[in-house]
Structure 1
Amino acid sequence: MIDTLDDVDLEPVVAEQPDPLLFATVSGAHLYGFPSRDSDVDLRGVHLLPTAELVGLREPEETRSRMWDRDGVEMDLVTHDLRKFVRLMLRRNGYVLEQLLSPLVVHTTEAHRELAGLAPGVLTRHHAHHYRGFAVTQWRLFKKTGELKPLLYTFRVLLTGVHLMRSGELQAHLPTLVQEVEAPAYVPDLVAAKAEQEHGAADVDHARVESDVERLHAALDEAQALSVLRDAPAAYDALHDFVVRVRLTGAEGLGARQG
């Protein structure tokens, strides 16, 4: 169990990786603003495969995933090779953009900062589909289990989607979102309850919650219809050039690193 991320030394995890990392950030409940002491640490990032591994006969290890216990803390690490990550960015995938732009930075490079600077060029009104679909999945899980965690995820992704459609900015932190979007007044109480127990039941009026979720779906639909975000990514060429340049220069192309 951990009280805060400051209690966990994450830099050795970065140092253990077999290939250089453009970045490593914390995602999951810590990023979303409702971790509990039982929450695992979700590390996400981008690794850079050597060019030789992409041009031979063997399938490259484009995605690496590992879960393990480190000093009593459950760690969940997922990294994608740069090319795969950028392709995901171009597929209206809000999840990878949240990882890229996470303020909870464990490891960064100049290449990370450059890639983050290109992120606005992939945002489109169609990212609403990502958040709508995620909300539907989490709502179904809540109805099946009655647990607080999927309910909070439902509210979080709907509010993120509404905020993105209206402002063009990606915000994943639920306590911040409730200050900026018309969230139900009881959401902060749910966040506080989640801090006490990771897999506790949601003590809520289910009919009221369902009505609020339906209202947020309608708000997302309206925000998407009125959004000034573009219909297609505008940064394809810039991202292509970025991937080629970083790949050809290898680790040196990542620029100065920071732990």
Structure 2
Amino acid sequence: MTTHTVSGLPDLIQVVAEQQHPLLFATISGAHLYGFPSRDSDIDLRGVHLLPLHDLLGLTPPQETQSRMWDADGLEMDLVTHDLAKFARLLLRPNGYVLEQLLSPLVVHTTPEHTALAGLAPRLLTRHHAHHYRGFAKTQWRLFGKSGELKPLLYTFRVLLTGIHLMRAHEVQADLPTLLDSVRAPDYVRDLVAAKAAAEHGHLSTLDGAPSHERLTADVEALHAALDEAEQSTMLPDQSDAGTDLNELVVQTRLRAGGVPVSDLSDRP
């Protein structure tokens, strides 16, 4: 698994060590993953933890998602982790967001289980992931209409390009500058990325030579049409065939954590 580091961030390894339950992985998501962080961007940490068998076998339903927000050296930190079983269920839905977290190259903490999960990712991709990116883009476009900020506008372009690339190349790519090298998009998007780097909540209206709302609307509609066409022509399947192996990975990981001997994850095909 290829990993990268992000300079200028607080000690994230210490954050991992402080969690109540052991983490199978922790990665950086958000603007840092998407390729347009600003100096004051939040740090979005996402990952998977493993609940103990005691919590799972009792009468009280366990809390499968844990979240925490705090300030570190003037930066807002946001940590959200899911228990392995919940994360696996999310992976089996057409949810590109959790795939991006799993496959993020900005890795803070990893384990063999993380590697095993990532190894199943190609078999989790379906044509229906286009629905996720289409819906996400519409939500961000509405937010841009209300705020006029660069951030939701760039999110709109990013998720549409990610969806198009996924349908065509059968891989998850969340970095907007990289996507601009592989998917045709308006030339001004690179300028918007540069402007966003200067201010987390910068407004489009403050930019010299900013595209008009009419131009933006036409370009976003064209990318929606391109995503529709890519979905129709993709060779991705309608349904993942990785459910059985994903379930087995969850079971083996639970048993291993409980001290029950199981086969090595690295031996799985």
The Cα shift of 1:72 comes to: 1.8
Equivalent position SS for 2:227: helix
How many angstroms apart in 2 are the aligned matches of 1:5 and 1:129?
Answer: 34
1:125 corresponding residue in structure 2: 127
Q: Following the alignment from structure 2 to structure 1, what is the Cα–Cα distance between the partners of residues 81 and 126? A: 24
TM-score by length of 1: 0.95
In 2: Cα distance, 1:51 partner to 1:226 partner: 45
Extract unaligned runs of 5+ from structure 1: none
Count of paired positions: 253
- TM-score (structure 2 length as normaliser): 0.91
Equivalent-residue separation in structure 2 for 1:95 and 1:68 (angstroms): 22
2:59 alignment partner in structure 1: 57
Partner of 1:231: 238
**Which of residues 134, 146, 151 in structure 1 aligns to 2:136?**
134
SS in 2 for 1:180: coil
Rounded to whole Å, the distance in 2 between the matches of 1:216 and 1:56 is 49
Q: Is the 8 A contact 2:39 2:200 kept in 1?
A: yes
Match of 2:74 in 1: 72
Shift of 1:55: 1.5
- Secondary structure class of the residue paired with 2:87: helix
CA RMSD of aligned residues (A): 1.6
Q: Secondary structure of 1:233's partner?
A: coil
The 3-state SS of whatever aligns with 1:11 is helix
Runs of 4+ in 1 over 3 A off after TM superposition: 4-7, 251-256
The worse-fitting range, judged by mean Cα deviation, of 197-206 and 100-109 is 197-206
1:232 alignment partner AA: Q
Counterparts of 2:9 and 2:18, CA distance in 1: 19
Q: What's 1:215 paired with?
A: 222
Instruction: Check whether the contact 2:21–2:51 (CA below 8 A) recurs between aligned residues.
Output: yes
Q: Partner letter of residue 188 of structure 1? A: R
The answer to whether the aligner puts 1:245 opposite 2:252 as a matched pair is: yes
Distance in 1, matches of 2:25 and 2:88, equals 13
Could you tell me how far apart the structure 1 residues matched to 2:164 and 2:26 are?
Answer: 27
Work out the CA distance in 2 between the residues paired with 1:171 and 1:208: 26
Superposition deviation, residue 206 in structure 1: 1.0
Q: Deviations over 1:24-75 (max 9, x none)?
A: 0000000000000110100000000011111111221200011100122210
SS in 1 for 2:146: helix
Q: State whether residues 134 and 157 of structure 1, in contact with CA within 8 Å, keep that contact through their aligned partners in structure 2.
A: yes
- Superposed displacement of residue 175, structure 1: 0.2
Contact kept? 1:20, 1:251, Cα under 8 Å: no
Structure 2: any 5+ residue segments left out of the alignment? Answer: 1-5, 205-209
Secondary structure, aligned partner of 2:180: helix
Aligned-pair identity in percent equals 68
Alignment of 1:52-201 (within 5 A): 52-201=54-203
- Does the CA contact (< 8 Å) of 1:66 and 1:76 recur in 2? yes
The separation in 1 between residues aligned to 2:40 and 2:258, in whole angstroms, is 36
CA distance in 1, matches of 2:53, 2:113: 17
1:32 correspondence with 2:34: yes
